[in-house]
């Protein structure tokens, strides 16, 4: 099943065309990484999915629903997103913020059911935030706030999870924790779309990559197919080489990984 489908998407902001002719799909069960230099249009493209910007051309569908004609409430039962903007300005506890993720599934003013409380507890546990559940969210660090945002998105139980730079602010352990969690969610059938700046994470944790440059898709495919030396130099201005360790011998074999233990490793050697 298709989680996200975009075709011919163009977004203008002010007098500028920021995104042009974008075709993109994210299947249920895959982690798709959207990568590209600063200002290439990644966030703008994600914003079309949660109706924060409206494309001037093209179609954007989420789990078969056309975003342009689907209510926000209906969309929120299908798609959950974390954004780069800090949203913790109100005096709420961590648990109360994560409980907001259940709102699309409850009637207006309906109380939380036992099932909702279990889902919230699971989301707090998955992000390692259960010990902070009574903290005022305004007192959290950047990384803790990021994890709360992810927990709230998980509490929505979405078919499609969209995350804009989810590893931002996170220490190394929690970066790996979040990326591993996304792999688990995809294995359970979720469609996961995220932006990442760290191409090493993108290589290791994404099934496929879409590379944006100046608002246009310049490459699509598995990390092995996409992250060659020419693209790394021309699009990202860095020198690097992708290695695929063989699962058995841990030697470079230069082909697709055989299993999850043989994920590609990107070695970066500086700028071009």
Positions in the binding site for ligand ATP (CB under 6 A)? 13-14, 16, 18, 36, 38-44
How would you classify residue 43: left for phi > 0, otherwise alpha for psi between -120 and 50, otherwise beta? alpha
Residue 249 or residue 271: which is nearer to ligand ATP going by CB?
A: 271
State the Rg of the chain over Cα: 19
Residues 119 and 115: their CA atoms lie apart, in Å, by 6
C-beta of 212: minimal distance to ligand ATP in Å?
Answer: 6
- Tell me the closest approach of the beta carbon of residue 200 to ligand ATP, in angstroms: 16
Q: Which is nearer to ligand ATP, 87 or 198 (CB)?
A: 198
Enter the tokens of residue 6: 């975009």
Q: How far is CA 86 from the centre of its chain?
A: 16
* Residue with smaller CB distance to ligand ATP, 43 or 82: 43
What is residue 129's three-state secondary structure?
coil
Nearest-approach distance from CB 176 to ligand ATP, in angstroms:
22
Instruction: Give dist(CA 198, CA 268) in Å, integer.
Output: 11
Nearest Cα neighbor of 153 from 98, 73, 94 is 98
Distances (CA, A) of 74 to 64, 113, 133, 209, 238: 12, 20, 28, 28, 42
| Shorter beta-carbon distance to ligand ATP: residue 48 or 127 | 48
114 contact partners, CB below 8 Å, separation of at least 6: none
Q: Which is nearer to ligand ATP, 18 or 202 (CB)?
A: 18
What's the min distance (Å) between Cβ of 220 and ligand ATP? 16
Q: To the nearest whole angstrom, how small is the minimum distance from the Cβ of residue 236 to ligand ATP?
A: 11
């Amino acid at each position: 099943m298709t989680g996200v489908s975009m075709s011919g998407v163009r977004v203008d902001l002010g007098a500028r065309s920021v995104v042009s002719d974008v075709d993109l799909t994210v299947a249920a069960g895959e982690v798709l990484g959207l990568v590209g230099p600063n200002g290439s249009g990644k966030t703008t493209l994600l914003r079309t999915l949660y109706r924060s910007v409206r494309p001037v051309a093209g179609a954007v569908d989420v789990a078969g629903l056309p975003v342009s004609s689907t209510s926000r409430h209906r969309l929120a039962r299908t798609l959950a997103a974390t954004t780069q903007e800090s949203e913790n300005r109100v005096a709420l506890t961590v648990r109360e913020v994560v409980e907001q993720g259940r709102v699309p599934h409850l009637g207006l003013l309906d109380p939380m059911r036992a099932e909702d409380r279990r889902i919230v507890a699971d989301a707090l546990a998955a992000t390692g935030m259960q010990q902070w559940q009574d903290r005022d969210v305004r007192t959290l660090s950047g990384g803790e706030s990021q994890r709360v945002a992810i927990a709230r998105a998980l509490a929505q139980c979405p078919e499609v999870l969209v995350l804009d730079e989810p590893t931002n602010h996170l220490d190394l352990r929690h970066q790996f924790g979040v990326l591993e969690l996304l792999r688990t969610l995809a294995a359970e059938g979720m469609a996961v779309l995220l932006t990442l700046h760290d191409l090493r994470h993108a290589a290791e944790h994404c099934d496929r990559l879409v590379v944006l440059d100046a608002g246009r898709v310049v490459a699509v495919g598995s990390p092995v197919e996409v992250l060659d030396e020419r693209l790394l130099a021309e699009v990202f201005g860095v020198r690097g080489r992708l290695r695929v360790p063989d699962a058995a011998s841990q030697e470079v074999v230069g082909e697709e990984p055989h299993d999850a233990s043989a994920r590609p490793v990107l070695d970066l050697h500086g700028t071009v």
